[in-house]
Structure 1
Amino acid sequence: MTTKNDVLHRLLLFALGDGLYGAQVSYIREIVPDQVKNPLPGAPDFIPGIIHVRSDVIKVIDIRRIIPLGKERAKKKIIVFVPEDAHSTRFGILVDDVYGIMEVPDAVVSHLDRSDAKIQNNFMLGFMKISLDTFLHQNGRQFAAGEDDLVWIDFEDLIRTIIDGDQADSIVFRLTALFNPQYLLSGEWKKNTGKMKA
């Protein structure tokens, strides 16, 4: 019999700004180094351009063009999403660093109640405490308990919202609520909603 303690979530750990985040690996195709992007005429401000990964064209999303985040790192990575089908637009999100895959027991996750209308406004599934340093210095993908805050992002919802052009106004609010809640409280995010239009 499988118990809650036996369920493992395979999360890719990455940094963006001052935050540490995790995303279910099933929504991630690959990670590639940041590279020169070809501008895409008519694209919203948060898409600085496209890159080519083998025969695929990837639209790159830069969260920093929407909201202010912490200090940028020199060697950035692009996390490429798995498309819904062969004809779907392929997207990648620019992040500051990628640390690897951690297998997180469900018992350590503080899941958010997604039925609460107030919580549905961001892309967060839950959060947990880990030790990034311990994880990086061990062999394997085991969970390492500690005091670092890890936010679990709902990549499925994030991808669907970005692809849906009708949600351009709400995505600024939702991304700000996830990546920089202090900025959200300041009200400055409202000035950036116009940048999301294609």
Structure 2
Amino acid sequence: MTMEKDIIHRLLLFALGDGLYGAQVSYIREIVPDQPKNPLPGAPDFIPGIINIRSDVVKIIDIRRIIPLGREQPKKKIIIFVPEDAHSTRFGMLVDEVYGIMEVPDQVVSHLDRSDAKIQNNFMLGFMKVSLDTFLHQIGRSYAAGDDDLVWIDFEDLIRTIVSGDQDGSIVFRLTALFNPQYLLSGEWKKNAGKIKV
């Protein structure tokens, strides 16, 4: 019987704006460099276009077109999600940097209470403290303790919500709560609530 303390989470670490995030690798197909996108007529503003990856059409999501974020890196990456099935639309998300996979022991994660509807709304599973610098300068994928805040994103919920295509402004609220919580206080996020139709 596996003890809970022995559980290891394999998280892909990436940066978007001023934040450091992690996502379960099982929901990620691959990472590719940012590249020119073909505009998609009728697409919402947060989808700047599509790219082709080995004959697959991938719609690109740019969170910065929904909410303001911190500094933007010149060499961005695209995280391609695993599609639900062979007939599902492929999606990718534009991020500032991808740092690699960290194997995080469960005991260092502060899990959020997913039964609380208010917490559940922001695509966040939990958070932890890491040292990104130590992680980047070591060999392997071991957890590196430190003072950097790492937010663990529920990519399954994020992908399902975006792909469903029938959401309203609530997804803008949820993305804002995740990537730029201070922006919620301004109320400006409400202006973008009607731009999210997929």
The answer as to whether partners of 1:77 and 1:95 remain within 8 angstroms in 2 is: yes
SS of structure 1 residue aligned to 2:83 = coil
Output the TM-score relative to the length of structure 1: 0.98
Q: 1:42 and 2:32 equivalent? A: no
Aligned-pair distance for 1:161? 0.4
Equivalence map 1:1-198=2 (5 Å): 1-198=1-198
Structure 1 consecutive aligned stretches of length 4 or more whose deviation exceeds 2 Å:
none
Structure 1 residue 168, shift from structure 2 partner: 3.1
In 2, Cα distance between equivalents of 1:169 and 1:195: 8
- Are 1:162 and 1:168, in contact at CA under 8 Å, matched by a contact in 2? no
Letter in 2 for 1:135: F
Q: Which amino acid aligns with 1:40?
A: L
Measure, in 1, the Cα distance between the counterparts of 2:162 and 2:156.
Answer: 10
Q: Is the 8 A contact 1:13 1:98 kept in 2?
A: yes
Distance 2:136 2:5 in 1: 23
Structure 2 residue runs of 5 or longer lacking an equivalent are none
Shift of 1:39: 0.4
Unaligned runs of 5+ in 1: none
Q: Provide the secondary structure at the position in 1 that maps to 2:75.
A: coil
2:169 partner SS:
helix
| AA aligned opposite 1:78 | I
Verify the 8 A CA contact 1:12 1:102 in the aligned structure 2: yes
Q: TM-score, normalised by structure 2?
A: 0.98
State the alpha-carbon separation in 1 of the partners of residues 27 and 39 from structure 2: 25
**Between the two proteins, what is the percent identity of the paired residues?**
85
Amino acid aligned to 1:145: A
- CA shift digits 1:108-127 (9 cap, x unpaired): 00000010011111100000
Shift of 1:197: 2.9
Superposition deviation, residue 196 in structure 1: 1.4
Distance 1:84 1:196 in 2: 21
Give distance in 2, aligned partners of 1:13 and 1:3.
25
The one-letter code matched in structure 2 to 1:50 is I
State the AA in 1 paired with 2:103.
E
Give the aligned residue type for 2:107: A
Contact 1:128 / 1:151 at 8 angstroms: preserved in 2? yes
